[in-house]
Amino acid sequence: MTRSMALLLTLVLLCGVAFAQSGWTDLFPDAKFTGWTRLPIPPTGKLTDVPQWKVDTARRLIVCEGNGGHDWMRCDREFSNFLLHVEWRFTKKAEGEQKYNSGIFVRNSADASIWHQAQTGGATGGWLFGDTLVNGVKQRVNLRSQAKSGLEKPAGEWNTFDIRCEGRTIALTVNGSLACEMTNCEVPKGHIGLEAEGYRIEFRNLRIKELR
């Protein structure tokens, strides 16, 4: 091994140690999505045979081709209080195409009959909504009208979502600015996940930091 290669390996190992000591856990899956499950949306729906999810290990990307129906890729672990970081971008379609749709899920039930989503769009997303519990009864809650607009970058550019779930609060930060907060969440824990809804989207740097 050359001296330069040894130095590079040492730097990589040191970065890995620093990352672990910071309390963050890397959620990037292996090529078989071990520990993840693909499920239909809605829960009563059926999965298509099109394998629209894949892992690009070379570039460390989770890729959804958007050609296999409405579903979600669920991380099988449940989390309660945490900070979730994810970066994403849509593949830009034909010039003038404005509609893009996907999302990041937190505190979902295992089948997503209860769900909380950070909406992604082509510079049109950036809010929280979902089918959650209100006074113990499932109800649609949508914070679109309350969210700060203009925070997302357009299709083809990378965006960053940081979602903080702590107690009864779910807060969404888009590209470094707080977009909105759901302040009375009655669901204390659940699954995180990534949504497929007919548009090609890439995800990277998916990591979580549990809060004690």
Task: State the DSSP H helix or E strand holding residue 76, giving kind and residue range, or none if neither.
Answer: strand 71-79
User: Token pair of 37, please?
Assistant: 């499950």
Cα separation, 198 vs 212, in Å, equals 37
What pLDDT score was predicted for residue 21?
53
What single letter denotes the amino acid at residue 38?
R
Full pLDDT tens readout for the chain, 212 residues: 555 444 434 443 444 444 545 899 999 999 999 999 999 999 999 999 999 999 999 999 999 999 999 999 999 999 999 999 999 999 998 877 779 999 999 999 999 999 999 999 999 999 999 999 999 999 999 999 999 999 999 999 999 999 999 999 999 999 999 999 999 999 999 999 999 999 999 999 999 999 98
What pLDDT score was predicted for residue 2?
54
What pLDDT score was predicted for residue 9?
40
Longest distance between any two alpha carbons in the chain, whole Å: 64
* 153 class by beta-carbon count within 10 Å (0-12 exposed, 13-18 middle, 19+ buried): middle
Q: CB-based contacts of 7: which residues, under 8 Å, 6+ apart?
A: none
Q: Calculate the alpha carbon distances from 102 to 16, 73, 75, 134, 154 in Å.
A: 30, 12, 16, 24, 14
What pLDDT score was predicted for residue 87?
98
- Write down the architecture of domain 27-210 according to CATH: Sandwich (2.60)
Cα separation, 194 vs 146, in Å, equals 23
Are 203 and 88 contacting, i.e. CB atoms less than 8 angstroms apart? yes
What pLDDT score was predicted for residue 97?
74
